Structure 1
Amino acid sequence: MLASDDERLWGAVQRRDQSADGSFVYAVRSTGVYCRPSCPSRPARRENVTFYADADAAEKAGFRPCKRCHPNENPDDRTAEAIRQACQWIETAEDQPDLGTLARSAGYSPWHFQRLFKAYVGLSPKQYAIACRKVRLRQALPDAGSVTDAIYAAGFGASSRAYEDKGALGMTPSSYRNGAEGETIRYASAESSLGPVLVAATERGVCMIEFGEPEQLVQVLAQRFPTACIVPVNRDLAALVERVVQLIDEPSAGCDLPLDIRGTAFQERVWKALTLIPAGETLSYAELAELIGRPSATRAVARACASNSIAVAVPCHRVVCSSGKLSGYKWGVERKEALLSREGTKPARNRR
């Protein structure tokens, strides 16, 4: 039992101070339960509270762990598991749980859970639910009996909501079902210091930056959007292409391009995390998997990086092997090495 500095410890309990978690636990004699300082349960009366150095000491004194804050578990492990379960719930639920419901299930306050979820996933619970709904809509549209059937199957409460939310697909659901019919995608090519590059953009922003022969890349673009109107417009895209070329020449300057990123919920989590890696630094695929809260998904993270179609602006070149050495790059390891060199990235070293 801790007898010294009780008032400081009690103050941490009253504030639900998360930074104090792991430094002590408090037990409530009236309930026989012990908790971590940040426990969201109703505050106990001061005269019923005793402080202990750790969970073992509290259990030896006859107290049992709280079922809300799980003070006998490692906080990091418990948080990762809570976020994983919340993601699974969001992905599979017919009626999406709200923030309060998710937070109560995880044993956190709504504000704290929102902060933890965004730190692990890179999106808020609401944003993640929207991304999952988008994926379900994309998957349902090709084979559904009608566009309306696909909309409701994806979790939209009304067909009007799906048509209003063009961000879900980058176009209306009917256009997506018809292979982006009616959407105009403009493209232009240019020479850069790393070879020819093709830039394509929708009304929302850049949807492709790829190195390679323009004729082949135009075919890739057409295959991705088979009934869209693919238009070569070198003059209209001149300013945008110039910004892309400047970004390739000086990737450390940062990217302020408008982007139209389209992928699965998992891919978008990975791509968003990539944009958070500062120029001059790298992560391994395992570290990137940990960053998005999916430490066992290293291979899936590598596949998402390989599927990126917006070179440099979504900087998948900043992901390397666990040893620190360069690994495969969609547009060639030589280009990856050149980009990292321009960013002043430190030489490869053993990361683990």
Structure 2
Amino acid sequence: MIASIPTTDPTADDLRWEALRRRDRDLQGAFFIAVRTTGVYCLASCAGRPLRKNVEFHDTRESARAAGFRACLRCKPDLPRETLRWATVSTDLGLALVACSEAGLRLVTLGDDADLLATDLDRRFRHARLTHDPDGLRPELAAIAAEIDGKAPALDLTLDAQGTPLQQAVWAALRGIPAGTTASYAQVARSIGRPAAARAVAQACGANPLAVITPCHRVVRADGGLAGYRWGVERKAALLAREAA
């Protein structure tokens, strides 16, 4: 559901102006900002910084266009917008940021700083409406924390990871590697019918958007070395040690 500012509120324009000043991603699509000096209309999160006296507000794109404004090339207000609900949860490996679309689990990342995780989320999904929803995501957060902490597999989560056909094939193969075992990049490449694609498999592991849920930590070098891990080799070693116990 899109957040909104009631137009019947006498302070509505002041609230919308404040939303623009803080680049509010939760209000994207709830209203549009038209800038008289440039002739464009924008989203609340646009990086532009117009003067208040040059701004007018519209409830819809159609209203802004009818008033003679064109879509901003920076924030692209005419692009379709999806809503991603997100929140963070503490785990044995630090913080996990979880983001879900209407279709399922879109992102799980690991880190130690909530602000840095949120900045990374914003960078990944520049044109999405991002809604902080820790209460609404409580079941997902609990399931993912239990998976990361090795207490219970998150079997009932619907996944909505976005990737190329090759990436999707690699990620499906990773989810088929049993806990307590590992596979090399070459072995994964052979398992998806692409024996010469070990390098592409490594790149797909690096692009994995679902930390631990899609267990790229179970992929190692041919000599058994840990190689890299997007969320830190120490976390990879801890996960493998726990699963091997």
> TM-score over 0.5 for the alignment?
yes
Instruction: Decide which of 199, 207, 219 is 1:319's aligned counterpart.
Output: 219
CA RMSD of aligned residues (A): 1.9
**Which protein is richer in strand relative to its size?**
2
Shift of 1:251: 6.7
Shift of 1:196: 1.1
The structure whose Rg is larger is 1
Report if the CA contact (8 A) 1:251-1:339 is conserved. Answer: no
Instruction: Decide which of 188, 207, 211 is 2:110's aligned counterpart.
Output: 211
Shift of 1:236: 0.9
Instruction: Decide which of 195, 205, 228 is 1:305's aligned counterpart.
Output: 205
Query: Per-residue displacement from partner, 1:166-204 (whole Å, max 9, x unpaired)?
Result: xxxxxxxxxxx9797331100001111100110000111
Q: How many equivalent residue pairs?
A: 169
Check 1:271–1:253 CA distance in 2 against 1; reply closer, same or farther (3 A cut): same
What is the rounded CA distance, in whole Å, between the counterparts of 1:180 and 1:334 in structure 2? 40
The correspondence of residues 122-133 of structure 1 with structure 2, limited to 5 A, is none
Deviates more, 1:332-341 or 1:213-222: 213-222
What is the rounded CA distance, in whole Å, between the counterparts of 2:244 and 2:152 in structure 1? 8
Instruction: Decide which of 245, 250, 253 is 2:150's aligned counterpart.
Output: 250
Aligned equivalent of 1:193 = 92
3-state DSSP of counterpart to 2:167: helix
The correspondence of residues 47-62 of structure 1 with structure 2, limited to 5 A, is none
What is the rounded CA distance, in whole Å, between the counterparts of 2:202 and 2:222 in structure 1? 12
**TM-score of the pair, normalised by structure 1:** 0.46
Quick one: percent identity of the two aligned structures?
44
Letter in 2 for 1:258: T
Check 1:243–1:253 CA distance in 2 against 1; reply closer, same or farther (3 A cut): closer
Shift of 1:258: 1.3
Aligned equivalent of 1:134 = none
Query: Per-residue displacement from partner, 1:311-340 (whole Å, max 9, x unpaired)?
Result: 011000010111112111101111111111
Report if the CA contact (8 A) 1:188-1:233 is conserved. Answer: yes
Aligned equivalent of 1:224 = 124
Check 1:326–1:252 CA distance in 2 against 1; reply closer, same or farther (3 A cut): farther
Letter in 1 for 2:101: T
Letter in 2 for 1:332: G
Shift of 1:225: 2.3
Q: Which sections of structure 2, spanning at least 5 residues, go unmatched?
A: 1-75
Letter in 2 for 1:259: L
Query: Per-residue displacement from partner, 1:201-258 (whole Å, max 9, x unpaired)?
Result: 0111111110122222222222222222101011111111011100001177464321
Report if the CA contact (8 A) 2:105-2:157 is conserved. Answer: yes
3-state DSSP of counterpart to 1:343: helix
What is the rounded CA distance, in whole Å, between the counterparts of 1:332 and 1:326 in structure 2? 11
Query: Per-residue displacement from partner, 1:138-181 (whole Å, max 9, x unpaired)?
Result: xxxxxxxxxxxxxxxxxxxxxxxxxxxxxxxxxxxxxxx97973
Query: Per-residue displacement from partner, 1:264-285 (whole Å, max 9, x unpaired)?
Result: 1111111111111111111000
The correspondence of residues 157-168 of structure 1 with structure 2, limited to 5 A, is none
The correspondence of residues 85-234 of structure 1 with structure 2, limited to 5 A, is 181-212=80-111, 213-234=113-134
Report if the CA contact (8 A) 2:143-2:154 is conserved. Answer: no
Check 1:277–1:252 CA distance in 2 against 1; reply closer, same or farther (3 A cut): farther
Deviates more, 1:211-220 or 1:265-274: 211-220
Q: Which sections of structure 1, spanning at least 5 residues, go unmatched?
A: 1-176, 346-352
**TM-score of the pair, normalised by structure 2:** 0.65
For the pair 1:329 / 2:229, whether they are aligned, the reply is: yes
